[in-house]
Structure 1
Amino acid sequence: MRGRAASECELIIVRYDTPSLMTWNARTYDGGFGYVSAHGAPLVDLLDPRPGERIVDLGCGTGVLTAEIASRGAHVLGIDGSPAMIEKALAQYPGLDFIVGDGRDFVVAQPYDAVFSNAALHWMGSEPDAVISSVREALAPGGRFVAEMGGAGNCAALTAAVSTAWREHGLPDPDLPWYFPTPAEYAGRLEKGGFVVRILEYFDRPTPLDECPNGAADWVRMFAGSLLHQLPAELIESLLRRVNELAAPALRRETGWMADYVRLRFAAVRR
């Protein structure tokens, strides 16, 4: 493994208390929800990509962080399950490599030095162990897995408002498309899957929804649109109004709406 030797790292677990199927709209994702990529900058620093390294960006979206990693001299392959995201990534960064792929079973021809993932693993929660296994197989021995995902309690107020609004409208509880594990749970999966966990951080990240004039309703349209696709069209506006009413006491401020994000960030090394 290039860079810092594994023996120089220690396992660190920190809790900070500071203030499925999904069809993505790549333009909206980059515009109204660009904070997803913006908050990934510290994760790139944790990855510490070096010139000449081979790195997979798993769940690369429109390629913003893929390009950042490449700018540091690494050879990067961006993988995402959304053809729309990959299409936009290829258009924005024509000199980089992007492919459509599934985190549960992607395969690379030669081992990589690192796999990086920002805000994507919680979308692959139906088979988290399969994702970890695929990542391990993509890495050379000593290769590193550096990622950030939603952790336990992520979007608790948002998802509670969604579930309550659904029940009040006589609908079954929604099948929420995310996997938000506790630090202990995911560390256990990594260790069982052939990794040594070197760093694990678990922290609150309240995030302004600056581009959401309709508050929680806009967030639901972007990140839980698959739930709306299953419903009669005449119910949707009423549901989303009720989501806003229920979420407002916890998430609406004088300055605007907030998302109650909780993040799980880690660095692990393949045994």
Structure 2
Amino acid sequence: MSEIKNTSYTHENYSAHAGFVPLLTSKITALLSPQPSDKILDLGAGDLILTSKISKHCSQILALDASTDLLTAGRELFPTNDYPNMDTRLVDCRYLDKETDVVDGTWDKVFSNAALHWILRDPSTRKNVFTAVHGCLVPGGKFVAEMGGFGNIDEIHVALTAALVMKGVKVEQVQEANPWFFPSDIHMKSMLEESGFDVEMIELEARPTELSLEDEKGEGGVKAWMEMFGQRFLELVDEPEREAVVKLARNLLEGVSRREDGRWIAGYVRLRWVATKRA
């Protein structure tokens, strides 16, 4: 994913509060269907939990991510001696086109899970990402991905916006700070086709997702989620105010996102596709 300069976004916090991300992947890995001869590029690979599993079923896999902390932690968990066909590289995938030795037309598949909504956020680099992925693939190669889709975590987005506005931040500032891009299936299909792909399948799926448990001190749950993933929003207020913004947003969400047993549910919507590079 794109570089997130955030002390809350560490491997430890990610594992504790977003460990579900690499686990809820049965559908996208089935669509990827790695084969023993496949050479695969993984965009926004994070701490390599999913990448390492895929590596057991392909010839070679290169994991790209912009987080030094996540890649380092991943390499400690999955050392080269045990995963000799898995390599890593520190890359901000918004600028994948600059990696000329990767964009070389030799990859059978380009894969991404839960990262492109960060990578594609900036409209000025979005087209370059698609062009670079197209350039990575052999003719007939596949681009297989899953990301946040239209409507993803709407309730959290609205609660953070409301909390910030109540603290005096303008709505326009909140909109500008939004770190995500959640397109519809129609929009994504159009972008893929314009970039030289034939779309074999594309779908949106509503997938309410259980977050980490909130402890007796009120830590964890949706609060931890906002502190980790919503840093760009929280930077709109001075640091002493950020805790108050998170608590206010949490309280706004309690009636719609917290179950009777105390568990928090986030309204995830997943967009996934399989697209083939035109010969």
Verify same fold: TM over 0.5: yes
Distance 1:167 1:21, change over 3 A: farther
Task: Write the mapping of 1:118-197 to structure 2, written as runs, cut at 5 A.
Answer: 118-124=113-119, 125-126=121-122, 127-173=125-171, 174=174, 175-197=177-199
Distance 1:40 1:73, change over 3 A: same
Q: Percent identity?
A: 34
RMSD: 1.5
Aligned to 1:97: 87
Deviations 1:153-184 (A, max 9, x none): 00000000000000001113321100000110
Deviations 1:32-55 (A, max 9, x none): 211000012321111000002100
Say which SS state the counterpart of residue 159 (structure 1) adopts: helix
Q: How far, CA to CA, are the matches of 1:192 and 1:206 in structure 2?
A: 31
TM-score scaled by structure 1?
0.88
Aligned to 2:237: 231
Matched residue count = 252
Give the C-alpha shift of residue 210 in structure 1: 2.6
1:268 aligned to 2:250?
no
CA contact (8 A) 1:111 1:140 kept: yes
Aligned to 1:11: none
Which residue, out of 97, 101, 112, partners 2:107? 112
TM-score scaled by structure 2?
0.86
Distance 1:212 1:100, change over 3 A: farther
Distance 1:86 1:241, change over 3 A: same
Q: How far, CA to CA, are the matches of 1:159 and 1:224 in structure 2?
A: 9
Q: How far, CA to CA, are the matches of 1:250 and 1:54 in structure 2?
A: 44
Deviations 1:215-266 (A, max 9, x none): 3221111111233245312212211111011111211111311011001010
Aligned to 2:83: none
**Equivalent AA in structure 1 for residue 169 of structure 2:** L
State the structure with bigger RCO (CA 8 A, min sep 6), 1 or 2. Answer: 1
Deviates most, 189-198 or 44-53 = 44-53
Aligned to 2:204: 202
Report the structure, 1 or 2, having the larger strand content.
1
> Unpaired runs of 5+ in structure 2?
81-85
CA contact (8 A) 1:58 1:78 kept: yes
Give the C-alpha shift of residue 73 in structure 1: 3.1
